[in-house]
Chains A and B, each alone.
Chain A
Amino acid sequence: DIQMTQSPSSLSASVGDRVTITCRASQSISNYLNWYQQKPGKAPKLLIYAASSLQSGVPSRFSGSGSGTDFTLSISSLQPEDFADYYCQQTYSIPLYTFGQGTKLEIK
């Protein structure tokens, strides 16, 4: 099975900061990597699909990159509403849609 490892597990940052979250796959997954945001008490929300494609309606301060085994989610200028949990997900290995363990983004 493909394992997905996110780093860091938690991150403290300030409004206006640029932050980067990393997701590493245990084997190559091409660009079949998605990113979700989850706020407390809410369902996950799709941010990025196919490693770098921005889902409709998602602010352009979010961006994704990478291919193969190493991927990043970047937020160019943190806004108060961006403090949440973030998860990567691989959909290369059908049907095991593995998620990363999550990254908690907190206000410094």
Chain B
Amino acid sequence: EVQLVESGGGLVQPGGSLRLSCTGSGFTFKSYTMSWVRQAPGKGLEWVSTISASGDTTYSADSVQGRFTISRDNSKHTLYLQINSLRAEDTAIYYCAKDIVRVPVAGDYFDYWGQGTLVTVSS
């Protein structure tokens, strides 16, 4: 059974940092692209960042470019999102998702999602 378990969320002051983690099991973690998607309270889904299976290729949304960094440790079956210079508008549930491809290509989709971790940015 595929499982994705996020951790690392919490309450942080504006300008602060957090590192989110997502540990995968039940599939060959090193073979799949992984992504982060967030959802602000009462709002829709927003794609945040994606990393290829090997970790060589990363992409991030313009809204987080330069502040968020996606990475992975395939030996630990773990995906990370380093989030810096946090703003109130970054308050959201952050989901990790498993893609179905090894490298991001057209036609990709997210077949499994974690339960999410809540990041709250407030003073």
Where the two chains meet, the residues of A that have a C-beta atom closer than 8 Å to any C-beta of B are: 30, 32, 34, 36, 38, 42-46, 49-50, 55, 87, 89, 91-102
Contacts and interface: CB of A to CB of B under 8 A. Distances in A.
Contact of A91 (B44, B95, B106, B115): B106
B107 A97 contact: no
Q: Which of the listed residues A36, A50, A91, A102 has the most CB atoms from chain B within 10 Å of its own CB?
A: A91
B56 to A, nearest CB: 13
Interface in B37-68: 37, 44-47, 50, 59, 61
A97 B61 CA distance: 9
B95 to A, nearest CB: 6
Contacts, number: 66
A94 B106 contact: yes
B50 A91 contact: no
A43 B95 CA distance: 8
Nearest to B49: A95
For chain B, give the interface size range.
20 to 34
B106 A43 contact: no
Interface string B90-114: 0000010000100011111111011
Contacts of B46: 99
Interface of B: 35, 37, 44-47, 50, 59, 61, 95, 100, 104-111, 113-116
Nearest to B45: A99
Contact of B45 (A46, A49, A87): A87
A42 B46 CA distance: 16
A30 B106 contact: yes
Given A97-B35, A99-B45, A102-B44, A89 B109 contact: yes
